[in-house]
């Protein structure tokens, strides 16, 4: 890692972390996760630091995810490097989720995958008109990790299921309405928000609220009843059938989107979300996702999805199995099974 990929400093009584890998849309790598973890641990018991603020350099986006190319290359061999990354990333996610001091995340621009994991645990999550949020993993043969199994099922109704399966992209009007982000602030006044948080680090929520404005009406609001009704089933097949039977333009469009996704990923994701909804400990979700992560990255669909979307960019993945009925319960059981003793994910001490 370049020494500048993560910038850390103390500004007043605020610990500042800035993602600084703009040409890669701040995609996270192992060293970036470790550097962020190191800073958070150093400030956790430091009385001079009252709260944390995470932002990014440049205007293109907060964080587009993890280093997918590295993960795919590792998954194509023994998967050791990918598992090491997941171990560090998920420990960082858990550290942020349980952090004793308030965290503010400035989510300005693209926020996907690993960027969601870096921002959702924050108490204050500030979106702007440039924010674009998505969990697009089913389109590359993966699943919405980094705590997606916790956060998505706890969104209103079945919106988390819809987002996870379709990979839908939302702007701030929707993310604030759903509670994904806590405040909407025009990008031109972000410096004022940061100054306000630095002046009043004990209550960054109050500081953010003073600068926040109402976003536009939520575009998905008219579809919320349909989302809650059509995505409430516990099998992907039943969701397909419900969308087909509904027959509206919107429902059929969602079904068409789902037909482009990895059947294996769709089934893994739905089981992940239904299991995560019942879990009472964020660490339990991270352990489940660590089991999945190390296994899924070695599957055909992840390798093929990365090839089609990121490497060759032909956007024509050949999924295997190609249909939902080709993905058995036994296949899913194997992906979700506990790891051998000593290999399970554990939080930092």
Do 60 and 199 fall into the same domain? yes
Question: Residue 29 gets which letter from DSSP?
Answer: -
Question: Which residues are known to be catalytic?
Answer: 66, 114, 137, 145
Q: pLDDT > 70: what percent of the chain?
A: 99
Do 163 and 178 fall into the same domain? no
Q: What pLDDT score was predicted for residue 3?
A: 54
Q: What pLDDT score was predicted for residue 141?
A: 97
Residue 187's contacts (CB-CB under 8 Å, 6 or more residues apart) are 59, 108, 128, 129, 130
Q: What pLDDT score was predicted for residue 153?
A: 98
Residue keyed to tokens 């989510």: 107
pLDDT at 105 over 50: yes
Do 27 and 158 fall into the same domain? no
Do 1 and 14 fall into the same domain? yes
Q: How many residues does the chain have?
A: 349
**Contact, 149 vs 285, CB < 8 A?**
yes
Do 307 and 321 fall into the same domain? yes
Lowest mean pLDDT of 24-28, 234-238, 301-305, 306-310, name the range. Answer: 24-28
> Which carries the bigger pLDDT value, residue 59 or residue 324?
324
C-alpha distances in angstroms, 264 versus 64, 70, 181, 205?
23, 22, 30, 40
C-alpha distances in angstroms, 257 versus 64, 76, 124, 168, 308?
21, 27, 32, 9, 16
228 closest CA partner among 276, 165, 152, 160: 160
Q: pLDDT > 90: what percent of the chain?
A: 95
Do 208 and 252 fall into the same domain? no
Q: What is the mean pLDDT of residues 309-327?
A: 96
The strands making up 110-112's β-sheet, listed across from edge to edge, are: 61-63, 110-112, 132-134
32's enclosing H/E stretch is: helix 30-44
Neighbours of 179 (CB within 10 A): 13
- Please tell me whether residue 100 adopts helix, strand or coil conformation: coil
Do 259 and 191 fall into the same domain? no
pLDDT in tens, 64-74: 888 898 999 99
Question: Residue 223 gets which letter from DSSP?
Answer: G
Question: Residue 200 gets which letter from DSSP?
Answer: S
- Give the chain's mean pLDDT: 96
Rounded Cα–Cα distance for residues 197 and 12 (Å): 10
193 closest CA partner among 213, 173, 214, 218: 213
Do 253 and 280 fall into the same domain? yes
pLDDT at 59 over 90: no
94 closest CA partner among 170, 158, 41, 32: 41
238: CATH: 3.90.226.10
Do 83 and 54 fall into the same domain? yes
Do 189 and 291 fall into the same domain? no
pLDDT at 5 over 60: yes
Do 95 and 197 fall into the same domain? yes
Q: Label residue 60 by pLDDT band (50, 70, 90).
A: confident
Question: How many independent structural domains does the chain possess?
Answer: 2
Q: What pLDDT score was predicted for residue 2?
A: 47
pLDDT at 1 over 70: no
Phi-psi region of 157 (alpha: psi -120 to 50; beta: other; left: phi over 0): left
Range of the domain at 109: 1-134+171-219
As beta bridge partners, residue 325 has none
pLDDT in tens, 107-160: 999 999 999 999 999 999 999 999 999 999 999 999 999 999 999 999 999 999
Q: What is the dihedral of CA 150, 152, 156, 159, to 10 degrees?
A: -160
What stretches of 222-280 adopt beta strand conformation (E)? none
Rounded Cα–Cα distance for residues 297 and 166 (Å): 20
Q: What is the mean pLDDT of residues 87-92?
A: 98
Do 154 and 229 fall into the same domain? yes
As beta bridge partners, residue 251 has none
Rounded Cα–Cα distance for residues 83 and 75 (Å): 9
């Amino acid at each position: 890692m370049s020494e500048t990929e993560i910038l850390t400093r103390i500004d007043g009584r605020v610990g500042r972390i800035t993602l600084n890998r703009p040409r890669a849309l701040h995609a996270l790598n192992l060293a970036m996760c470790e550097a962020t973890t190191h800073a958070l641990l150093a400030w956790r018991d430091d009385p001079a630091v009252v709260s944390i603020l995470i932002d990014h350099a440049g205007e293109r986006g907060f964080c587009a995810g993890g280093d997918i190319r590295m993960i795919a290359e590792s998954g194509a061999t023994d998967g050791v490097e990918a598992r090491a990354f997941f171990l560090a990333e998920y420990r960082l996610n858990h550290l942020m989720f349980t952090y004793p001091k308030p965290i503010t995340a400035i989510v300005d621009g693209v926020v996907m995958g690993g960027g969601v994991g870096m921002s959702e645990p924050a108490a204050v999550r500030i979106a702007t008109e440039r924010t674009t949020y998505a969990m697009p993993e089913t389109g590359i043969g993966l699943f919405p990790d980094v705590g997606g199994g916790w956060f998505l099922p706890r969104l209103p109704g079945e919106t988390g299921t819809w987002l996870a399966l379709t990979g839908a992209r939302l702007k701030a009007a929707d993310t604030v309405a759903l509670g994904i982000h806590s405040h909407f602030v025009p990008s031109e006044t972000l410096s004022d928000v940061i100054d306000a948080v630095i002046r009043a680090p004990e209550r960054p929520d109050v500081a953010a609220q003073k600068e926040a404005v109402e976003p536009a009406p939520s575009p998905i609001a008219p579809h919320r009843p349909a989302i809650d009704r059509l995505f409430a089933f516990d099998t992907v097949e039943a969701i397909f059938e419900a969308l087909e039977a509904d027959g509206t333009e919107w429902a059929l469009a969602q079904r068409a989107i789902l037909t482009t996704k990895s059947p294996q990923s769709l089934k893994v994701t739905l089981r992940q979300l239904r299991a995560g909804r019942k879990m009472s400990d964020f660490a339990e979700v991270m352990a489940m996702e660590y089991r999945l992560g190390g296994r899924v990255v070695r599957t055909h669909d992840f390798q093929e999805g990365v090839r089609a979307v990121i490497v060759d960019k032909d956007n024509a993945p050949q999924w295997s199995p190609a249909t939902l009925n080709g993905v058995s319960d036994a296949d899913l059981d194997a992906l979700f099974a506990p790891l051998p003793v000593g290999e399970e994910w554990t939080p930092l001490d």
